[in-house]
Structure 1
Amino acid sequence: MTPAARVQAAIEVLDHINECTPAEKALTTWARGARYAGSGDRAAVRDHVFQALRCRRSYAALGGGTDGRALLRGALIEAGVAPETVFTGERHAPAVLDDAELMQGRVPEVGAEQADLPDWLWDRFESAFGSSEAMRSAQVLRQRAPVTLRVNAGLSNVSQAIEILNEDGVAVTRISQCDTALIVAEGARRVAGSRAYREGHVELQDASSQAAMAALDIAPGARVLDYCAGGGGKTLALAARVDATWFAHDANFTRMKDLPDRAHRAGIQVTCLDSDAITTAAPFDLVLCDAPCSGSGTWRRAPEAKWRLTPERLEELRATQLTILENAEQHVAPGGQLVYATCSILLAENDRQVAEFLSRHSAWTLTKQMSWPVTEEGDGFFLACLTKAG
């Protein structure tokens, strides 16, 4: 495919997304119908689509509309490329821009439009961080997220992992945020097939998430439950550095289907528990609740989420988070820890939730609270450690 044909394909995918088709489904449907597209073509179209979703408001302003043609025209203008050189109508390129399209478009307004956020969210960003930090965070969320690896300290050190990755054409750089974290500089699509990944020397995990798990104090031999485990990445990160007894649970048990294989590859034993089994296995010395959230710290990876979040949905998430904490605290042993974590940067899901929980439970005290802003190296993340009276 020519570069212009890739733009046209992205336009078509974006138009399907505008009709409420999830981005991944829209991309998969296009790829199935485009047998001529190679892996490089599919990757390029995906990049166009996701960047347009990250920058939807500013591209719409520049391009003069919210349909696929306008968004990609806005993307070209921001990149300093004359849209007329791409919208030629030749060899599957987008059709030539008409006079009406050429007359449309303007500079994005300062504030929510420039930040590529809904108005109501921009107000919350500003109130939480101040104008300059709010804009800095929003601008980072407009960029593509890094591919980050965690070195499994139980199997190899960082230097050894780098050497093994290099053998398979994966170039990485170290990150100051966490000593087990590596950013992939070249060969990201080779990671899953690399020996380092297949043999458990590295796992895919964001740097902030790694740093948060490294900040937890876990005594050797402790009984630890990952209450909202999902794929189990945080359990594996913790188990790589502490010799303890590990348990994992998720309300949707199928989310943990790959965890046994991942744990085996990493040389770790994890017991997966359903809801009934938790009561039998309790109490635990530490219960980690990486709660469902808006994902605002990870929106550059899933940009659809910031456009679909509403004030009403945020309140639903807050209710779910508090319910999870209420349920999880019952399984913590006296003197044990309840750890609340989110990949959100919104105060409503972080500081305020901790304060709400403490106001209801006098037996608990806050012993540690940390947050990681969105940066070029890592996603936004929040962590609070609560200790139960002995």
Structure 2
Amino acid sequence: MSDCPFFASESLERQDMPDCEPSVEKQKKESHFRGGRSVRETALELLHSLFQHPDEGTPLPVMLACTVQEAGLDKRDAALLSELAYGVLRRHILLDVLLDRFLSKPEALSSRIRMLLRLGVYELLFMGGIPARATVSEYAGLARRRFGQRAGGLVNGVLRSADRDDEELLALVRRASAVEAASIPAWLMNMWVKQYGAEKADSFAFNTLEQAAPCWRVNMARDSAEALRDSWLERGYAPVGRHGFTSAGLPRERAGAAEEQQELNELEARGFLTRQGISSQLVAEFIADWIVQNGQVAQSELWDACCGRGGKTAALLEKGVRVALASDPAQFRIDELRRSVSRLGLQEPKIVCAQEQDVEASFPLILLDVPCSGTGTLGRVPELRIRLTPEKLNEAERLQASILEDAWSKLQPGGFLFYVTCALNQKENERRIAKFLAVHGTEHGGDATLCEQHLFLPELTGHDALFLAVLRKEITV
């Protein structure tokens, strides 16, 4: 999907922390906690900065990658930092609810002390393999060094109480509302309830709590594609559409097996595989199938007008779709698309760095993966919880309306436009299409017909939700 103004993909993956040997104190300190104090302090500063300045907009994976590089963290410490950052973002409202049970004046806490306590409680309740006494000691010591003895005593007392009452706290977690459990802003939850109903809104929220299982798409331009996919399905990986597979459902030790991960990475580097989420794979398959099934445009050329990093562009090229042009206003995304096409051994289409409005040409097929709020990506992009506002959704809606109007003027009569968002917001999806048809629909004297529209909801926890509408420009006399 294209990069939305308020959307970024999670490129620095979290990894499961290895279990410590709880009976050997020296081994714990020399292995799991080597550099741990600095990692926790780094997590504190990163999250504090993010919460204090959410509008700066740097994607969390970029923040993490820069922090890891600047701090010189090894792979294990980088994994701990990533786990803490993603975990606290996904559960910060819930963590505050739990913390307030142990604080007489929670409103008196400084923002940094509150963030430090969030980190400590998250580590105690949601991260396995780390001894509780070590967690308490690390955060209490950090508080003393940074904020003085009084702060250290407060943190020590709160975290020891949280550890002592952990079963009670976990029971509260299981009973928490969706807003609390998944730290969804109340205004967004209310919007989901109003648009989709309470049951679906709860499902959307709880879906965002887990890390998405990795998925891969086989390169259908290679002769060995189907055999390659079958070989991974035989190993126990689950199918994704017709051309992909995922590690979801594998035993934990298998899903993180270093040998298989290395093999997958090598296959990707050699152009046989690409990592791509479930819904994005299904949308690309749907579009490719639609083009083939409508024989009069099966050989027509397509313009990917908001191509982003080119995930769908490459998927369509692999499936034999004739992509004539891919455009995006960000040069770094264009550069990544070029690298992907080269890696996959595909014939490179014309690629330009340009706003959709600046392209002067007409096409029989247009893919419009418009900038959006990204509300369908909260599982993968947890920082949107504190960055999104109703005003930003309104801004996205206005931008989408402008882009759709302009792209429609460049669609040839008889052609199809595929409108895509990664939003869970009817104003950006169904209602945007309805408003467009109220002006351009054939029933109102225009030339637009809605062929069909779909909301691709996550098939597995943590994955994105995508919306797709197919519009046809009728041939008028």
TM-score strictly above 0.5: yes
Maintained 8 Å contact 1:335/1:388: yes
Give the AA of the match of 2:460.
E
- Residues 119-161 of structure 1, C-alpha deviations (whole Å, 9 max, x = no match): 1001012122222221122111011122221111111324325
Residues 318-333 of structure 1 mapped to structure 2, 5 A cutoff: 318-333=397-412
SS at match of 2:95: helix
SS at match of 1:215: helix
**Separation in 2 of the partners of 1:110 and 1:238?**
41
SS at match of 2:94: helix
Q: Which residue of 1 aligns with 2:317?
A: 239
Q: Which residue of 2 aligns with 1:186?
A: 256
Q: Which residue of 2 aligns with 1:118?
A: 185
Judging changes above 3 Å, is the alpha-carbon distance between structure 1 residues 379 and 2 closer, same or farther for their aligned structure 2 residues? same
Q: Which residue of 1 aligns with 2:382?
A: 303
Structure with higher helix content: 2
**Separation in 2 of the partners of 1:158 and 1:317?**
39
Give identity over the alignment, percent: 25
Q: Computing the radius of gyration over CA atoms, which structure comes out larger, 1 or 2?
A: 2
Q: Which residue of 1 aligns with 2:396?
A: 317
Give the AA of the match of 2:428.
E
Structure 2 stretches of 5 or more lacking a match? 1-30, 101-105, 144-151, 248-254, 292-296, 441-445
Cα shift at 1:40: 1.6
Judging changes above 3 Å, is the alpha-carbon distance between structure 1 residues 246 and 187 closer, same or farther for their aligned structure 2 residues? farther
* RMSD, aligned α-carbons: 3.3
Judging changes above 3 Å, is the alpha-carbon distance between structure 1 residues 61 and 102 closer, same or farther for their aligned structure 2 residues? farther
Residue 388, structure 1, aligned to residue 451, structure 2: no
Q: Which residue of 2 aligns with 1:213?
A: 284
Q: Which residue of 2 aligns with 1:14?
A: 47
**Separation in 2 of the partners of 1:343 and 1:360?**
24
Residue 265, structure 1, aligned to residue 343, structure 2: yes
Maintained 8 Å contact 1:223/1:246: yes
Maintained 8 Å contact 2:229/2:243: no
SS at match of 2:347: coil
**Separation in 2 of the partners of 1:146 and 1:342?**
21
TM-score, normalised relative to structure 2: 0.72
- Residues 272-319 of structure 1, C-alpha deviations (whole Å, 9 max, x = no match): 135599888732111111011111111122111122111111100000
Residue 34, structure 1, aligned to residue 97, structure 2: no
TM-score, normalised relative to structure 1: 0.86
**Separation in 2 of the partners of 1:79 and 1:183?**
24
- Residues 318-347 of structure 1, C-alpha deviations (whole Å, 9 max, x = no match): 000111101111111101011110111221
Higher deviation after alignment, 232-241 or 20-29? 20-29
Match of 2:207 among 140, 160, 170: 140
Residue 376, structure 1, aligned to residue 460, structure 2: yes
**Separation in 2 of the partners of 1:119 and 1:228?**
31
Judging changes above 3 Å, is the alpha-carbon distance between structure 1 residues 132 and 84 closer, same or farther for their aligned structure 2 residues? farther
SS at match of 1:302: coil
Residues 72-87 of structure 1 mapped to structure 2, 5 A cutoff: 72-76=119-123, 78-79=125-126, 84-87=133-136
Residue 198, structure 1, aligned to residue 269, structure 2: yes
SS at match of 2:471: strand
Maintained 8 Å contact 1:161/1:201: no
SS at match of 2:237: strand
**Separation in 2 of the partners of 1:183 and 1:136?**
21
Maintained 8 Å contact 1:249/1:273: yes
Match of 2:227 among 144, 149, 159: 159
SS at match of 2:136: coil
Higher relative contact order (CA 8 A, sep 6+): 2
**Separation in 1 of the partners of 2:466 and 2:92?**
24
- Residues 158-209 of structure 1, C-alpha deviations (whole Å, 9 max, x = no match): 432575999xxxx87133x412122243358956983311221111211111
Cα shift at 1:358: 0.9
**Separation in 1 of the partners of 2:349 and 2:127?**
51
Maintained 8 Å contact 2:229/2:244: no
